[in-house]
Amino acid sequence: MLYSLYEAGYYASAPMRMAARLTRDAWSSPLNPAHNSEFGRGVYAGAELFSTLTRRYGRPEWGIDHVNIDGHDVRVRVNETWSSPWGKLIHFARSTSDMRKAGRRELEPAILIVAPLSGHYATLLRGTVQAFLKDHEVYVTDWANARDVPVLEGRFDFHDFIDHIRIMLRQLGPRPHVLAVCQPGPPVLAAAALMAEDNEDSRPMTMTFMGSPIDARLSPTVTNRLAEEKPFTWFQNNMIDTVPAPYPGMGRRVYPGFVQLASFMTMNLERHQEAHLKYLHQLMDGDGDGAEQHLAFYDEYLAVLDLTEEFYLQTIDVVFQSYLLPKGELMHRGRLVRPDLIRDIGLLTVEGENDDISGIGQTQAAHALCSGLPDAFKEDYVQPHVGHYGVFNGRRFREQIYPKVRAFIAQGEAGFDKARAAA
């Protein structure tokens, strides 16, 4: 019912949205003699803000067609190398000839960047991808919007997510590297543990977890407390709705993206209000650069996708209420997941000092779970002065965090200096 009301509200506001766009165009046109007056700029800014706040935000484009490597412009082509109804494996293939010109003649380490399936599209990791493209063959998980998957395609749950990670890692060949950003931490660790136990050739050489709720009991945040305080039935009854027509997934039960977005916005409501007020003033002052930066951020931030009912509810249960992985009780397809059996996969954990989504300690918990790993294979890093988003994007990520991850991967390629000279 909520989903249908949301859709009805969007279409009901269409006339006002169209009127706002016409007003915006009329008062921004150089043919309007008053377009540059204080009154004209004010009307234009108000109309533009209304139009921006009420429009739909679709799946963003990656917009990565080149990367600068050692002063050389290297062309990048985005290829789909594997897919299922629930996701695609995207390869950012760098031009071989351009790589030779840049002096890179050897095959560089392949890394699978596992994007979170928690409301935003994988393009939220655009900055992450751009950083890794300088030194790696980059692959990214691009998850589907559940509302676009027909009911006939079946279900997609927490255990299907684990299976997808295993399948995707196999596409990269022997001993790739894997990086999980936020939500995928627990299922990626589970996939690595299962692959290690089976001694698969494609088990990761290193695994990096960034701001991941490996053990959500530690340093609980507002998000964790909500999951703990509300009974499981509350999430079933209040967070789930049915996809309406005309979407391909009509009839599918989902956790709607707009509900998740409302949660995101509410957590930092004052900050978002200030940002939009600043945007209004930038429009009125003719500050084009500032307005473009605002739009670039919110074009990404406001683009959300739906999660299947089963995936969302299982994540609430497994990760945030029952804590099955850290308690050693997670079962996958009838098998107990045992991170303690991991013997030769490097483990790097990265956390942000000011992370208000995954508190400090939640990601570090992976070290205790991987008790079979020698200390030579483990490393932990806490980045000062960054929140959750800054762990995988922004200036401090590029200048301080990424170099540490790159160095850790290089150590893995070198056998961690032969396990730190056999300890």
Q: What is the pTM of this model?
A: 0.92
* Sheet hosting strand 307-308, strand order edge to edge: 241-242, 253-255, 307-308
- For residues 99 and 351, give the distance between their C-alpha atoms in angstroms, rounded to a whole number: 32
Dihedral (Cα; 271, 360, 123, 57), 10-degree rounding: -30
pLDDT surpasses 70 at 85: yes
Tell me phi and psi for residue 60, to 5 degrees: -70, 155
In this prediction, residue 306 has a pLDDT band, given cuts at 50, 70 and 90, of very high
pLDDT single digits (tens) 327-361: 999 999 999 999 999 999 999 999 999 998 999 99
Whether the Cβ atoms of residue 136 and residue 205 lie closer than 8 Å to each other: no
Token duo for residue 170: 């196999």
Please report, for residues 163, 192, 206, 300, 386, the alpha-carbon distance to residue 332 in angstroms, rounded to integers and kept in the order given: 9, 12, 22, 34, 34
Beta strands (DSSP E) in 125-256 are 137-143, 177-181, 206-210, 241-242, 253-255
Helix count (H) and strand count (E) of the chain? 17, 14
Model confidence pLDDT, tens digit, residues 29-74 = 888 888 788 887 888 888 888 888 788 888 899 999 999 999 999 9
pLDDT at 421 over 60: no
To the nearest whole number, what is the mean pLDDT of the chain? Answer: 91
Q: Where are the domains of the chain?
A: 2-56+257-301, 66-230+307-416
416: left (phi over 0), alpha (psi -120 to 50) or beta: left
Q: For 66-230+307-416, which CATH superfamily applies? A: Alpha/Beta hydrolase fold, catalytic domain (3.40.50.1820)
Provide the strand spans (E) within 29-86. 66-69, 72-84
Q: Is the pLDDT of residue 179 over 90?
A: yes
Q: What is the pLDDT of residue 371?
A: 97
Residue 87 has pLDDT above 70, yes or no: yes
User: pLDDT of 313-324, one tens digit each?
Assistant: 999 999 999 999
